[in-house]
Amino acid sequence: MHALYGFARYADEIVDSLDSSTPAARRAELEEWGATFLSGLAGAPVDDPILPAVLHTIDVFNLDRADFALFLRSMAMDLTVATYPTYADLIDYMEGSAAVIGAMMLPILGARDLDAAGGPARELGRAFQLTNFIRDIGEDLQRGRIYLPQADLAQFDVDHASLSAGISARSASPAIRRLVAFEVSRAREHYLAAAPGIAMLEPGSQVCIRTAYRLYQGILDEIERADHDVFARRAVVPKRRQVVVAAACMLKLART
């Protein structure tokens, strides 16, 4: 898990670097790092602080190499793509940025049937990422990106200017709140599709994933409690609820 996290996080750090490097320089760095990774997959020696652990993990758990290529493709998209016309376009991006992460984790989490668990795992990746997109509309916009589909914005009469105005005012307009409510409902559909996959994991892993499943949905609950105003404050699940949810999931394991 540490190796996969390190791989994904390092790529993300290249893309969203806060230094003064240009998008072209970051793209070149990502391509160079990705090429080193692909060379390692082919058996070449790799001099890198992260990649040897990732390559070892791929080998030990026989992870699908294609998922890693999709991930790097989506990371590269963040350097050139600022908006997504339709939800199908966003799903294509999330296939590499989130869905494949769920699939990569399955052998490590002890899934009994990788084929059966693959679909729900990808759905959970999409659910988590869409939750982040909803919560972080303002933060993403400040990076020059809008992850919610342009077709959805148009449906609710929302545009770049109205989103920027909401950030400045620290208050979402009624139109933006209706847009957020729509996206929350869409995210919950992904969670529903992901739910059957939890029971397919090794019992100890079920505790971790069920806890994350409930707490990430808790972010949506907090957004709803704020009347879908994602600009007034960042939606965070209270510590008390985090503890209660984790304890309940552990207790469920103890009773099985």
Measured between alpha carbons, how far is 182 from 224 in angstroms, rounded to an integer? 11
Q: Residue 238: pLDDT above 90? A: no
For the stretch 143-187, pLDDT in tens is 899 999 999 999 999 999 999 999 999 999 999 999 999 999 999
Place 254 in a pLDDT band, splitting at 50, 70 and 90: low
Report CA 96 to chain centroid distance, whole Å.
10
Residue that wins the pLDDT comparison between 244 and 122: 122
Q: Are 176 and 113 in contact (CB under 8 A)?
A: no
Of the two residues 249 and 185, the one the predictor is more confident about is 185
Of the candidate ranges 60-69, 111-120, 161-170, 233-242, the one whose mean pLDDT is the lowest: 233-242
**Cβ contacts of residue 2 below 8 Å, gap of 6+?**
53
Q: Per-residue pLDDT for 253 more than 70? A: no
CA distance 146 to 141: 6
d(CA 15, CA 26): 6
Q: Tell me if 169 sits within 8 A of 231, measured CB to CB.
A: yes
198 or 238, higher pLDDT: 198
How does residue 138 score in pLDDT terms, banded at 50, 70 and 90? very high
- Residues composing the chain: 256
pLDDT tens digits for 76-130?
Answer: 999 999 999 999 999 999 999 999 999 999 999 999 899 999 999 999 999 999 9
| DSSP secondary structure, 138-185, as one string | HHHHHTT---S-HHHHHHTT--HHHHHHHHHHTS--HHHHHHHHHHHH
Residue 244 has pLDDT above 90, yes or no: no
Q: What span, in angstroms and rounded, lies between the C-alpha atoms of 84 and 89?
A: 6
Q: How far apart are CA 193 and CA 191, in angstroms?
A: 5
Span 14-45, pLDDT tens digits? 998 767 788 889 999 999 999 999 999 999 99
What is the rounded average pLDDT of the residues 46-62? 94
Closest Cα partner for 165 from 201, 185, 130, 141? 141
How far apart, in whole angstroms, are the C-alpha atoms of residue 134 and residue 155? Answer: 16
